[in-house]
Amino acid sequence: QVQLVESGGGSVQSGGSLRLSCAASGFGYSRSCMGWFRQAPGKEREGVAAIDSDGSTSYADSVKGRFTISQDKTKKTLYLQMISLKPEDTAMYYCAARPITYYSCAYYYWKADFPYWGQGTQVTVSS
């Protein structure tokens, strides 16, 4: 059974930094895609970043240059390093994962087509 457990969220002031982690268990595919999504109150869920098993990445325009997605395959952990945080980054952040079967990771990320999701970790940025 696949489990994704996020951690690292918290409250920071504008301009601050956080690093989110997502520990994956029961997930072992030779070709995989993992991503971060977020949802603020009253807003739709949006993609933040994604990375495939080869290290190719995709980012939302709103976070480019500020957020970095990475993975440690030995630890089966996904990370999201966030710097220069803004109040508009406030949201629940979710980790998602899937095997790559036909389409590219970028396509699955664009479609938010992931069968496995974590419970989320809250990020709050105050001005």
AA identity, residue 66: R
Q: What is the pLDDT of residues 3-14, one digit of tens each?
A: 999 999 999 999
Q: Which of 92, 108, 99, 109 is nearest to 49 (CA)?
A: 109
Q: What is the pLDDT of residues 26-83, one digit of tens each?
A: 988 889 999 999 999 999 999 999 999 999 999 999 999 999 999 999 999 999 999 9
CA atoms within 13 A on the CB side of 40: 9
**Residue 61, class by beta-carbon neighbours within 10 Å (0-12 exposed, 13-18 middle, 19+ buried)?**
exposed
